[in-house]
Each structure stands twice: as C-alpha cells, then as structure tokens.
Amino acid sequence: MSQVEVNGVELFYEAGGDGDPLVLVHGSWGDHESWTPVLHALALRFRVLVYDRRGHSQSERPPGSGSRFEDEEDLAALMETLGFAPAYVAGNSFGASTVLGLASRRPDLFRGIVVHEPPLMSVVADDSELRPLMAATDRKIEAVLGRLRAGEPLAGARQFVEEVALGPGGWDQLPERLRDAFVANAPTFLDEQADPGWADLDLGRLSGYPGPVLISKGTESPPWFATITDRLSKALPQAETHTFQGAGHIPHISHPGAYAERLTAFVDGIRRTA
C-alpha cells in the first residue's frame, strides 16, 4: 500500500506497468479499483497510476466541504510528485470533469486526454430540448441526497446507480467490491454536490488546451452526454469523439476490452503522428 501527501492531503495510489505514463481518474462514489477490469491490459502498454481521490476509500477524508478545484490540484500535485508529468490522463464521469478542468489551467501536465461523459451540465444549460430531462435528473439527484442526509448510504447508492447513472438493474450488475465502495464513499457525493462549481467549465479557457483529446460517450447513456460531448469537441482544437456501442456511463467496467483497445489505439495514433 502506498500513500503520498500532496496538496495537504494523504492520497492512496498504486503504480505499475511499463511504457508511456498513464493516469486514471475515477468518478463519483468509486475508487481506484473501478479501473481493475482494464488495468492488466493497460499495464502491458503503459506505466499506469491509479489513486483514490480525496475522501474516497483509502485516501484521507479532510473535514468540511471540498471542491472540484481541490481534486484538480490534487491530480496536478500527484502527477508531479510521482514523476508522471506530463502523462496521458483518462477520466470517467466526475473524474473526466476533473481532468478537463485541470487541462484548461495546466496543459503542460498532459500528453493527451481521454474522457468519458463528464457531467458538465453547465455546458448544455442553454439547450431548451434537454432542459426538462435535466430538471428530472436534478430531482432524482436531490432524492439521492435526501437518502444520504438521512443516513441511508446503501439506499442512496442504489438509487443513484439505478435512477441516475446506469438504469434499472444496474446496481446488481456492478462488481460487489464496487458496490461496497459506493456505500463507503457515499458522503463524498454530498460533498461534491455542495460545490457550486461542480458542473461548470469555461469552454473559452478550455479551448486553449492544444493537445490531443478523445471524448467518448455510450449509446445507453442519457442524451445530454451526447450534447456535452459535441460541445466539448467543438471547443477543443484537437478533439476526436468515440461512441461505445451498447455501453453506458462506465464502459471501462461494462466493456473493458473495447475501452482498453480504444484508449491504446488513441495513444498509438498520437505517437505515430509525432
């Protein structure tokens, strides 16, 4: 077990493999083990760093409300402290938002970016067609938060998975270890949602990121992710998009072979161009 203090907090991490540096950033509720289904395949090609974001699982849980900005600063400090800068960085969901937020400020840390369905709702807030769907989702999220405030982490985690993230039956399809992590990390979702800027991103600033980016979505995901993907791709000068057929919000778990193959092909394409 490895721990390192960065940005004033102790973070758990694991590193292994050989090749180009690759950092994986998990989303809400989970931890570094959410990457387990793709870790072996990626470690054959990359020197891979996974970690638990602050407040999650084996990393320190500081008191008080945090912010996505702190997660971004943690990621930057972790990469620099452990010698993973610059690196290819992949993020899922809230982890994808964290990666893009950091890239808009510190492009020097990245060789390339891979993000899947960042929940940057502010990017599509002006879309009148999506507004009723997003309002309905906001109500579902508020119901989840109500469960968590009432001290019902299991019920809240299941409700989030089945009504917001994956759909009916999604909870039982998750690996048991990941379900346990969701329950243990439930307080971090309250913390994330308390941050007024959790869903914001300055597209003008992001457009200054000059490096290659792969933005992906799944065919089974809520429709606003497709719109978010489209707007992000238009803002980034070297962006390409990919759709995982039959997948939803966590393709590295539901379709690990396809995810690892697409990420590796993206990086190999960058190297060939260089």
For 13, the token pair is 């991490």
Q: What is the pLDDT at residue 273?
A: 87
Among the listed residues 273, 267, 212, 268, the one whose alpha carbon sits nearest the alpha carbon of residue 240: 212
In the block, residue with structure tokens 């890239």: 103
Among the listed residues 28, 26, 210, 235, the one whose alpha carbon sits nearest the alpha carbon of residue 112: 210
Q: What is the mean pLDDT of each run of 10 residues along the chain (274 residues)?
A: 92 97 98 97 98 97 88 98 98 98 98 98 92 92 97 97 91 94 95 93 96 97 93 96 96 97 97 86
Q: What is the pTM of this model?
A: 0.97
Residue 138 is which amino acid?
D
| Strand duo 46-51 + 20-25: pairing | parallel
Among the listed residues 26, 19, 7, the one whose alpha carbon sits nearest the alpha carbon of residue 80: 7
Distances (CA, A) of 259 to 31, 119, 129, 168: 18, 19, 30, 23
Q: Give strand pairing partners of 114.
A: 90, 214
In which order are the strands placed within the sheet that holds 2-6? 2-6, 9-17, 46-51, 20-25, 87-92, 110-116, 213-218, 239-244
Q: Please, is 31 exposed, middle or buried when counting C-beta atoms within 10 Å of its C-beta (0-12, 13-18, 19+)?
A: buried
Q: What is the pLDDT at residue 13?
A: 98
- Domains annotated on the chain, with CATH: 2-124+198-273 (3.40.50.1820)
| Strand duo 20-25 + 213-218: pairing | unpaired
